[in-house]
Amino acid sequence: MSRKLPATDVAIIGLGWTGAILAEQLTRAGLDVIAIERGPRRNTSTDFPTTYVQDELRYAIRNDLFQQASQGTLTFRNNSRQSALPIRQFGSFLPGNGVGGAGVHWNGHTWRFLPTDFVLKSHLESRYGKGFIPSELTVQDWGITFNELEPYYDKFDKLCGISGKAGHLNGQIQAGGNPFEGSRSSEYPTPPMRQTYGPTLFAQAASALGYHPFPLPSANISEAYTNPLGVRLGPCTYCGFCERFGCGNYSKASPQTTVLPVLMRRPNFTAQTNSEVLKIMLSRDGKRATGVTYIDSSGEIWEQPAELVLICGFAYNCVHMMLVSGIGKPYDPVSGKGVVGRNYTYQTSSGSTLFFDDKLFNPFIGSGALGMTMDDFNGDNFDHAKVGFVGGASITTSITGGRPIGHRPVPPGTPRWGAAWKSATRDNYQSVMGIGSQGSSYPVRDAYLDLDPTYKDPHGRPLLRMTFDFNANDAKMAAYVADKTAEIGKSLNPRQIVKSPPLGPYSIVPYQSTHNTGGAIMGADPSTSAVNRYLQSWDVPNVFVMGAAVFPQNAGYNPTGTVGALAYWTAEAIINRYLRDPGPLVHA
Ligand X SMILES: Cc1cc2nc3c(=O)[nH]c(=O)nc-3n(C[C@H](O)[C@H](O)[C@H](O)COP(=O)(O)OP(=O)(O)OC[C@H]3O[C@@H](n4cnc5c(N)ncnc54)[C@H](O)[C@@H]3O)c2cc1C
How many angstroms separate the Cα of 281 from the Cα of each of 24, 156, 306, 416, 526?
24, 31, 10, 52, 22
Give the length of the chain.
588
Identify which range of 82-90, 105-113, 140-148, 184-192 contacts ligand X by CB under 6 A: 105-113
**What sign does the dihedral 11-585-142-446 (CA atoms) show?**
positive
Q: Where is 155: in which H helix or E strand?
A: helix 146-160
| Contact characters 278-317, ligand X, x per CB under 6 A | ----------------------------------xxx--x
Contact region for ligand X (CB under 6 A) — 48-56, 98-106, 489-497, 573-581? Answer: 98-106
Instruction: Indicate which single residue of 112, 244, 403, 461 sits in contact with ligand X (rule: CB under 6 A).
Output: 244
Taking CB under 6 A as the rule, does residue 243 contact ligand X? yes
Cβ at position 272, least distance to ligand X in Å: 9
Residue nearest to ligand X (CB): 16
Q: What are phi and psi of 483, to 5 degrees?
A: -60, -40
Q: Does 164 bind ligand X (CB under 6 A)?
A: no
Query: CA-CA distance, 213 to 219, in Å (whole number)?
Result: 19
Candidate list 37, 141, 157, 474; residue touching ligand X; CB under 6 A: 37
DSSP 475: H
Question: Would you count residue 107 as binding ligand X (CB under 6 A)?
Answer: yes
- Under rule CB under 6 A, residue 436 binds ligand X: no
- The binding track of 496-515 with respect to ligand X, each residue x by CB under 6 A or -, is ------------------x-
Which residues, 6 or more positions from 448, have their beta carbon under 8 angstroms from its beta carbon? 331, 333, 341, 342, 343, 344, 467, 519
Active-site residue set: 515
Contact with ligand X (CB under 6 A) among 11, 22, 31, 36: 36
- Write out the DSSP string of 81-147: TSPPEE-SS--S---B-STTGGGSS---B-----HHHHTHHHHHHHHH-TT-S-TTB-----SS-HH
Among 159, 221, 233, 277, binds ligand X (CB under 6 A): 277
Binding mask 310-339 for ligand X (x = CB under 6 A): --xxx--x----------------------
Report, in Å, the least distance between residue 291 CB and ligand X: 13
Phi, psi at 43, each rounded to 5°: -135, 115
Does residue 102 bind ligand X (CB under 6 A)?
Answer: yes
Using CB under 6 A, which of the segments 32-40, 260-268, 300-308, 434-442 binds ligand X?
32-40
CA distances from 216 to 1, 178, 235, 380, 484 (A): 52, 10, 16, 20, 18
Rg (CA), the chain: 23
Could you say which of 328, 547, 552, 556 contacts ligand X (CB under 6 A)?
547
- State the Cα–Cα distance between residues 392 and 212, nearest whole angstrom: 15
Give the residue, chosen from 56, 63, 76, 96, that forms a contact with ligand X under the rule CB under 6 A. 96
Contact yes or no for 351/435 (Cβ under 8 A): yes
CA distance 390 to 478: 11
Rounded to the nearest angstrom, the gap between the alpha carbon of residue 284 and the centroid of all alpha carbons in its chain is 35
Position among 73, 78, 293, 560 found at the interface with ligand X (CB under 6 A): 560
CB 218 within 8 Å of CB 369: yes
Looking at 78-86, 155-163, 349-357, 541-549, which segment touches ligand X (CB under 6 A)? 541-549
**Of positions 33, 94, 478, 508, contacts ligand X by CB under 6 A:** 94
Which part of the chain contacts ligand X (CB under 6 A), choosing from 140-148, 221-229, 527-535, 553-561? Answer: 553-561
531 binds ligand X, rule: CB under 6 A = no
Contact with ligand X (CB under 6 A) among 42, 105, 155, 342: 105
> Residue 293 Cβ, how far from ligand X at the closest point, in Å?
10
Q: What does the DSSP 8-state code read for residue 517? A: B
- C-alpha to C-alpha distance for 471 and 505, rounded to whole angstroms: 9
Q: Is 8 an interacting residue with respect to ligand X (CB under 6 A)? A: no
Number of residues that bind ligand X (CB under 6 A): 41
Residues of this chain that interact with ligand X (CB under 6 A) are 13-19, 36-39, 94, 96-98, 101-103, 105-109, 243-244, 276-277, 312-314, 317, 368-369, 514, 546-548, 558-560, 563
